[in-house]
Amino acid sequence: MMDTKKKANQYTAEFKARAVKLAVESDQPFSKTAGELGVNKNTLHPWIGKYHRAQAVEHPVGEEHLYDELKRLKKENARLKEEREILKRSRAEIVRDAIERYLEDSDDLHIALERLQDPNDPVLEWEDVKRGLLAQD
């Protein structure tokens, strides 16, 4: 039993640091890295845990960083909302203009149809229309 405790303490700090670095930077599972190093995976895991806790203390996510990110996202959100409103207005204006043009053209169309239906209104034959267009050129 005493032998086991001595074995647990035989790893140097340098070895532990290299083992953790290898395990963290490697794409393979920790258990495989532990096996390659000749270390039990249950021994390697606490070393990795200490490493991650130390990293969290060294590089904490500060409130200032979160505040800046929130500010940036709010600004972007406002810009996107404004762009959406511009597009909505543009689309509404396009539809309104198309409807107005259609209504204007439909009045002319109704007049033309009424003339075509009027038996007293002379209707030009296609050949006459073609000759008239060619004469304009």
In this predicted structure, the answer to whether residue 100 has a pLDDT above a threshold of 90 is no
Is position 110 within any domain? Answer: no
pLDDT band at 67 (very low <50, low <70, confident <90, very high): confident
Residue 54 lies in a domain: yes
Is 32 within the bounds of a domain? yes
- Provide the percentage of residues in the chain whose pLDDT is more than 90: 16
The encoded tokens of residue 112 equal 């033309």
Phi, psi of 106 (to 5 degrees): -70, -30
Is the confidence at residue 6, as pLDDT, over 80? Answer: no
Helix/strand/coil percent split, the chain, to 5: 80, 0, 20
The boundaries of the domain holding residue 20 are: 8-58
Q: What is the pLDDT of residue 80?
A: 92
Query: HSE-up of 117 (CA within 13 Å, CB side)?
Result: 6
Instruction: Give residues with Cβ within 8 angstroms of 40, minimum separation 6.
Output: 34
Q: What are phi and psi of 60, to 5 degrees?
A: -70, 150
Name the residue with higher pLDDT: 21 or 60.
Answer: 21
Task: Return all residues near 11 (Cβ < 8 A) that are at least 6 apart.
Answer: 19, 39, 43
- 89 versus 41: the higher-pLDDT residue is 41
Q: What is the pLDDT of residues 35-64, one digit of tens each?
A: 999 999 899 889 988 888 887 776 666 777
Domain count of the chain? Answer: 1
On whether residue 105 sits in a domain, the answer given is no
Domain membership flag for residue 64: no
pLDDT category, 75, cuts 50, 70, 90?
very high
Q: Is residue 84 part of a domain?
A: no
**Of 48-52, 72-76, 86-90, minimum mean pLDDT range:** 86-90
Asked whether residue 88 is assigned to any structural domain, the reply reads: no
- The answer to whether residue 80 sits within a structural domain is no
pTM for the full predicted model = 0.38
